[in-house]
């Protein structure tokens, strides 16, 4: 049995044929990294390596299943007739199998239960109840995230108190200990334990580790830039006998620092294995050269990780369209206009943005034009819990007899409900004496609602931004009754839009840049290219986070295959405040000869943009601005 490698380019073939010893494949966006990893597994099998001796680690079950199907195709076998296959799965699924077999060494029975995120949060709540710690003042979700972060750094419940600093972490230390007791009593593990307990077994039982080292002669790891410290250590331990480890990744696409991913693992790989063979897969099969050059101009400013200079045999393609609009509404209208003009199937288009809150105006304009859309990894703006909470408060101000809204605010908390009714008494029968924005701000302040939803996690921060974004709608509609009526109309359009989507089965994708990773579209719009929005304001003073923002921009740019549109506004109503934002530094990084500028504003096309683009500024200048 042989595997035909003729469809691979020369460098890909060399990477596939380098089977023995450590191999690092730095694979740029659209360079066929998964293809290379799949061919490598099939090539090993075709050269006599037992499939049982190969371990393939991925980050999603979907990726593992795709790899399995591709390998079977390459070796010309059907699932029913070919057995065994390499061990393929996510880090968590592989570790779960190890624990089923060897968990007894640390007192874990084979019948243990795996708690998902909701189960884990329920266990945190039980721990807090046992310790008489309020779940109203301390978010169980945030505490669960903090415990997860500790486990990813391999800090157990007994060690955590030594690292705890400040009241919050001291509270977490107590809860962490109680939480682990509950898991042990229930013979359960959470997702983080799946990894951490396997490391514990390997560290305490060398013979068990040796059995897996002997079993897995070859270890292949996908998306290595997304590994956290536990995953990094696991692969290192498993590979330490034969050192036949091949990892594929691209530090420039590492965008999950907030989840514990550490792009430095790629740099550490070369330190751990100085003799490693390194292959830079720089030929891109997805995008035009103009798009690749624009992406490189942004990512090349990063200095802490390897940067690949991508090239392609594809045409140079159209220039990057950079459009300046008057405001966010005109920006969204421009997107709809271009989608309509180009006349391609709607599924060929994606609109990417930095924050979930930005979807609000896009959704409203798409609904206005009856243009079907889907949200990836998100919930429609007016269906998000925090927005529905705020709307319930405001509906009760206008109509205190609304029992549905009353029931909702009571679930938020009786104390907050009491503070809210104080507002209603203060306003009396004349809510029309106050603007919608004044009423909204009163509610948020009096009920401490932002404190309620801001648990310190990324999700909590996104919820806060959504509440601030509803201020933008309130600012535009001063009369509360009209505001609520307009919201109701948008909500009603959601249902008709669902019917439209079902009838057409074709829709534009709206999603955040984070959710876009791993996907591609012929035409991509990235909206909101302004300082403070993208890059995000939280990252402006942190060099490490700014590099992550650059990587995020790089990921967004390289999602486009044929056409790329970047938009910004002169003024933006954001969080209820209209502001004039500076042009994003990422736009300034793109050379003028790659850009076709366009202005939606009356006057010479692109004049404002070209004035800005000619500014010579480095990042220090921006921080001083």
Would residue 222 show up in a list of annotated catalytic residues for this protein? yes
Asked if 495 and 261 count as a contact pair (C-beta separation under 8 A), the reply is: no
Q: How is residue 518 written in tokens?
A: 């791993």
Would residue 223 show up in a list of annotated catalytic residues for this protein? yes
Asked if 388 and 408 count as a contact pair (C-beta separation under 8 A), the reply is: yes
pLDDT of 522: 97
Q: How is residue 135 written in tokens?
A: 């779940």
Strand pairing report for 560-569 and 572-574 = unpaired
Separation between Cα atoms, residue 556 and residue 468, nearest integer Å: 25
Separation between Cα atoms, residue 218 and residue 214, nearest integer Å: 10
Residue of 213, 227, 235, 253 marked active site: 253
| Torsion sign (Cα): 95, 100, 103, 107 | positive
Residue numbers of the chain with a pLDDT score lower than 70: 1, 77-83, 492-504, 599-625
Instruction: Note the pLDDT tens digit of each residue in 70-122.
Output: 888 888 765 545 567 888 889 998 999 999 999 999 999 988 888 888 889 99
Give Cβ neighbours of residue 14 (< 8 Å, ≥ 6 apart): 279
Strand pairing report for 320-325 and 349-353 = unpaired
Residue of 102, 178, 190, 223 marked active site: 223
Per-position b or e across 196-214, b if 16+ CB within 10 A of its CB: bbbbebbeeeeebbeebbe
Asked if 13 and 5 count as a contact pair (C-beta separation under 8 A), the reply is: yes
Instruction: Note the pLDDT tens digit of each residue in 346-402.
Output: 999 999 999 988 999 999 999 889 899 998 877 888 888 999 999 999 988 988 888
Would residue 33 show up in a list of annotated catalytic residues for this protein? yes
Helices (H), 75-205: 91-102, 117-130, 140-152, 160-163, 166-185, 191-204
Residue of 354, 559, 570, 585 marked active site: 559
Q: How is residue 423 written in tokens?
A: 């507002």
Asked if 86 and 118 count as a contact pair (C-beta separation under 8 A), the reply is: no
Residue of 33, 286, 572, 585 marked active site: 33
Would residue 596 show up in a list of annotated catalytic residues for this protein? no
Asked if 569 and 294 count as a contact pair (C-beta separation under 8 A), the reply is: no
Residue of 222, 262, 324, 330 marked active site: 222
For the chain, percent helix, then strand, then coil, each to nearest 5? 55, 15, 30
Instruction: Note the pLDDT tens digit of each residue in 144-189.
Output: 989 999 998 899 999 999 988 888 899 999 999 999 999 999 999 9
Q: How many CB atoms lie within 10 A of CB 288?
A: 22
Tell me the Ramachandran region of residue 428: left when phi exceeds 0, alpha when psi lies from -120 to 50, beta otherwise: left
pLDDT of 476: 84
Would residue 253 show up in a list of annotated catalytic residues for this protein? yes
């Amino acid at each position: 049995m042989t595997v035909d490698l003729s469809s691979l380019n020369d460098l890909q073939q060399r990477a596939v044929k380098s089977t023995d010893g450590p191999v690092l494949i730095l694979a740029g966006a659209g360079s066929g990294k998964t293809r290379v990893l799949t061919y490598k597994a099939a090539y090993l099998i075709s050269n006599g390596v037992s499939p049982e001796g190969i371990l393939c680690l991925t980050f999603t079950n979907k990726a593992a299943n795709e790899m399995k199907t591709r390998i079977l195709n390459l070796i010309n076998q059907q699932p029913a007739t070919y057995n065994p296959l390499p061990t393929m799965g996510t880090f968590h699924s592989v570790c779960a199998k190890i624990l089923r077999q060897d968990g007894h060494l640390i007192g874990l029975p084979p019948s243990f239960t795996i708690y998902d995120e909701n189960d884990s949060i329920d266990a945190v709540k039980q721990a807090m109840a046992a310790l008489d710690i309020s779940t109203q003042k301390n978010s169980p979700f945030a505490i669960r995230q903090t415990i997860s972060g500790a486990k990813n750094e391999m800090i157990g419940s007994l060690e955590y108190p030594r690292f705890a600093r400040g009241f919050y972490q001291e509270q977490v230390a107590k809860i962490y200990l109680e939480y682990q007791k509950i898991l042990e009593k229930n013979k359960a593990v959470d997702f983080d334990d799946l990894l951490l307990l396997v490391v514990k077994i390997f560290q305490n039982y060398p013979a068990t580790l040796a059995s897996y080292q002997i079993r897995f002669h070859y270890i292949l790891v996908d998306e290595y830039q997304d590994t956290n410290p536990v995953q990094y250590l696991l692969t290192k331990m498993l590979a330490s006998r034969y050192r036949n480890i091949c990892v594929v990744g691209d530090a420039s696409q590492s965008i999950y620092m907030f989840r514990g991913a550490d792009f430095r693992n790629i740099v550490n790989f070369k330190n751990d294995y100085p003799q490693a063979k390194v292959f830079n897969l720089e030929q891109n099969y997805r995008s035009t050269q103009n798009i690749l050059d624009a992406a490189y101009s942004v990512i090349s400013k990063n200095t802490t990780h390897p940067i690949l200079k991508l090239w392609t045999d594809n045409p140079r393609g159209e220039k990057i369209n950079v459009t300046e609009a008057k405001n966010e509404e005109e920006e969204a209208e421009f997107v709809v206009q271009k989608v309509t003009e180009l006349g391609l199937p709607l599924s060929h288009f994606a609109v990417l943005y930095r924050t979930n809150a930005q979807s609000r105006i896009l959704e409203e304009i798409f609904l206005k034009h009856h243009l079907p859309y889907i949200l990836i990894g998100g919930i429609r703006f007016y269906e998000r819990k925090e927005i529905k909470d705020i709307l319930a408060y405001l509906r009760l101000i206008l109509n205190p007899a609304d029992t549905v809204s009353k029931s909702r605010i009571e679930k938020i908390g009786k104390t907050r409900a009491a503070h809210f009714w104080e507002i209603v008494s203060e306003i009396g029968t004349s809510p029309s004496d106050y603007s919608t924005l004044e009423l909204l701000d009163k509610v948020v302040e009096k009920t401490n609602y932002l404190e309620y939803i801001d648990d310190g996690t990324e999700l909590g921060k996104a919820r806060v931004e959504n509440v601030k974004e509803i201020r933008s709608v309130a600012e535009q509609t001063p009369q509360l009754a009209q505001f609520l009526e307009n919201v109701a109309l948008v909500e009603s359009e959601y249902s008709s839009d669902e019917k439209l989507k079902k009838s057409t089965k074709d829709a534009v994708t709206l999603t955040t840049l984070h959710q876009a990773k791993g996907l591609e579209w012929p035409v991509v719009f990235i909206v909101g290219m302004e300082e403070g929005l993208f890059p995000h304001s939280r990252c402006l003073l942190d060099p490490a986070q700014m590099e992550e923002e650059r990587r995020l921009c790089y990921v967004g740019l390289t999602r486009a295959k044929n056409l790329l549109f970047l938009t910004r506004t002169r003024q933006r109503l954001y969080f209820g405040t209209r502001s004039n934002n500076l042009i994003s530094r990422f736009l300034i990084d793109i050379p003028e000869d790659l850009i076709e500028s366009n202005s939606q504003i009356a006057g010479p096309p692109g004049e404002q943009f070209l004035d800005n683009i000619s500014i010579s500024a480095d990042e220090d200048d921006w921080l001083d601005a």
